[in-house]
Structure 1
């Protein structure tokens, strides 16, 4: 991403939060046959406190990307949305897009079959914990043998990034009164309402007295 000091996100805790809350990522590889992109759910490695991620791909995507052979770029996109110039009132203004994103790049390490199974189990638990009646991998009516067989169709990997780029563009270049107006519009019921983006903006711009 283009560097802009106004929008740089360097806080590790916030980067981890964005990754955790927006797990459906885009992975990009520069292969001998050209650029390749895929989309998969990924999660932070629960055994680490950095930006190491654990994920899996369905075969033959591991060959398509050359996993373990070259650098992989993984992009996590947080809340984002259109910001109308009409929200700014009088004066010359242009439309823009507010967003947050975390880019992680590095050479992934392939997981063993046993590690891949544990990673798949954790991924299922990660999402099913929100379900009032969670459906977990190793619990009935699932057959453990069938689960292990299905898992052979996937390849797990761990990526500890050697390059990190993160940006959070949330109207930091606007005066406080305009920021409040944008947040109010995003919290409203107009065509571009986006309460999640409004909440993300509020993290960057705490209300007076907070």
Structure 2
């Protein structure tokens, strides 16, 4: 991925925030020259030294699971806030359209853990993350005996992040008046997540 310095996030915390807010990733592998992609919710973790890993789970009976057991290297692609920037919002109609976006691509090495404990940890951590702040939040424990019937159908994994690429293309040196009109246009079309991302980036 082209990661020009002007589009790199300011800090690792920006990457962590984006992935936490948009945990649904596309995990991509190659099998005999043919791509295989599976959408999965993933949680990013960092160790005391800043090393990154992803916690997740996959269906046990799945071609991609079988492939990753044999070939554990893959790419996880996270897409954050994004949207089309229309020149129709601008007083200066000579400006070109563009697309603003946040994306993080992680080169990963996947290791499965078939134990019941690892599966419960992966599922519980994901559910707790997604239910946090919800009224009457749900938990894995609410499933009761049904959990024991469903959990064996998945397998947990932890993926070590080998390399990371982040690109937050949230502007392109627009004049202040153009930026104000772009933000107003995005707000009018209900794209608040992108407005918030641009404002966090100081745009």
TM (normalized to structure 2)?
0.88
C-alpha distance in 1, partners of 2:27/2:11?
22
Compared CA separation, residues 50 and 164, structure 1 to 2 (3 A): same
Report how far residue 50 of structure 1 moved. Answer: 4.6
Match status 1:14 vs 2:14: yes
C-alpha root-mean-square deviation of aligned residues, in Å?
A: 2.1
Structure 1 portions without partners, runs of 5+: none
Match status 1:115 vs 2:112: no
Confirm or deny: 8 A CA contact 2:82 2:102 kept in the other structure.
yes
Report how far residue 34 of structure 1 moved. Answer: 1.0
Give the structure with the higher percent strand.
2
Confirm or deny: 8 A CA contact 2:110 2:160 kept in the other structure.
yes
C-alpha distance in 1, partners of 2:106/2:11?
14
SS of 2:89's equivalent? helix
SS of 2:7's equivalent? coil
Show the counterpart of 1:147: 147
Confirm or deny: 8 A CA contact 2:107 2:163 kept in the other structure.
yes
Structure 2 portions without partners, runs of 5+: none
Compared CA separation, residues 88 and 64, structure 1 to 2 (3 A): farther
Equivalenced residues, count: 200
Confirm or deny: 8 A CA contact 1:12 1:50 kept in the other structure.
no
Give the structure with the higher percent helix.
2
Confirm or deny: 8 A CA contact 2:85 2:182 kept in the other structure.
yes
Instruction: Map residues 1-210 of structure 1 onto 2, 5 A cutoff.
Output: 1-9=1-9, 11-32=11-32, 34-45=34-45, 50-61=51-62, 62-67=64-69, 69-90=71-92, 92-113=94-115, 114-139=117-142, 142-143=144-145, 146-188=146-188, 192-205=189-202
C-alpha distance in 2, partners of 1:95/1:37?
30
Compared CA separation, residues 133 and 21, structure 1 to 2 (3 A): same
TM (normalized to structure 1)?
0.85
1:60-86 Cα offsets, whole Å, 9 max, x none, are 234354246231100111110110012
Confirm or deny: 8 A CA contact 1:85 1:95 kept in the other structure.
yes
Report how far residue 108 of structure 1 moved. Answer: 1.0
Report how far residue 131 of structure 1 moved. Answer: 2.8
C-alpha distance in 1, partners of 2:111/2:10?
25
